[in-house]
Amino acid sequence: MIVAETPRLRIRHFTAADSQFTLQLLNDASFINNIADRGVRNEHDALQYLVEGPIKSYQTYGYGLYLVEHVESAESMGMCGLIYRQDLQETDIGFAFLPQFCGQGYATEAAKAVIHYGYHKLQLPRIVGLTSAANINSINLLSKLGLQFEKTVMLPAQQQSVMLFS
């Protein structure tokens, strides 16, 4: 299912066919360093991640992380979407792109489209951004999206303190 399109990007639900791309993205050094090591080491792990993560989230909450692909080439570039954080009772905008697609405005473009979808189609009352204090690129992107630092919160599942932007 296509969630949004921009002049350059198509944002759609992940499917089982996206497991090879997911394996590549989740093992990128930037993903591991700035988000987390999800322990995805082969295509089977990637499929399990998709089924238990984004695909389950679509069924449970009506939204989740989405695949971002180039409109013209259909090349998979990254992910961007909405994550319900039960421990915070908040919906978080999340994003990650392969290195060759960073620094070209794709993440900003995708995140703006996903936030618009969240507010206008899903009627979400609030969307926040979470990032570590060391992730300057994410802090800058959240600022470009109009989000401002609100407070520091603890993510119990990851045993990690993060900055919350709203």
Domains of the chain listed by start with CATH number: 2-165 (3.40.630.30)
pLDDT tens for 130-144 read 999 999 999 999 999
pLDDT tens for 27-66 read 999 999 888 889 999 999 999 999 999 999 999 999 999 9
3-state helix, strand, coil in the chain (%, to 5): 40, 30, 30
User: Count of alpha carbons within 13 Å of 152, Cβ hemisphere only?
Assistant: 5
Q: Measure CA 36 to chain center.
A: 12
| Low-confidence winner among 15-24, 48-57, 150-159 (lowest mean pLDDT) | 150-159
> Please, which pLDDT band fits residue 158 given cuts at 50, 70 and 90?
confident
* Model pTM score: 0.95
